[in-house]
Amino acid sequence: MKKLIIAALLVAGMTTYAQEKKETPNRANMERMTPEERQERQLKRLTTELTLNAQQQEQVKQLLASQTVNRQNQMDRKELSKEEMKARREAAVKKMQDDRKIMEDKMKVILTPAQFGTWKADQEKMRERNETRMKERMGNRNDN
């Protein structure tokens, strides 16, 4: 009887341990990339996926550089009250939507229609993946 109870507890303990959250790479241990390295990596990825020519590569490179500068400016924050943070967050979301639209318009000019369609599909996949990750993080935060 004792062995049966011990076996049942062991099985229950192992199943709960096995169902703990899956191991994800620790962001703190991952090497931080400089903005320039991120730009180069993104440019290489776009070049291979969209088969950009040299002129398109240069234009996209300039566009990515200006986008990086804009992001850096937005990330500079000060401590504010809740109301100020909410207003600032809403303004930041609107600005990001406007920036995304501007980026899309500029990419439409630079890329061919086929390349633009591929780029747009990739952007949508990335947005969905990020939303999924955010929901997972928020769920994990609420569980703790």
d(CA 66, CA 101): 15
Tell me: the pLDDT tens digits for 88-105? 889 988 998 999 899 999
d(CA 144, CA 140): 7
> How far lies 15's CA from each of 11, 18, 23, in Å?
6, 5, 16
pLDDT in the model for residue 113: 92
* Domain extent listing, the chain: 38-73+85-144
Token pair 């049942």 in the structure block, residue: 8
pLDDT in the model for residue 129: 93
Q: Which residues of the chain have pLDDT under 50?
A: 29-30
pLDDT in the model for residue 117: 92
pLDDT in the model for residue 118: 93
Tell me: the pLDDT tens digits for 5-21? 877 777 777 666 655 55
pLDDT in the model for residue 115: 92
* 134: CB partners within 8 A, 6+ apart: none
pLDDT in the model for residue 29: 46
pLDDT in the model for residue 19: 58
For the CA atoms of 46, 121, 66, 40, the dihedral, rounded to the nearest 10 degrees, stands at -20
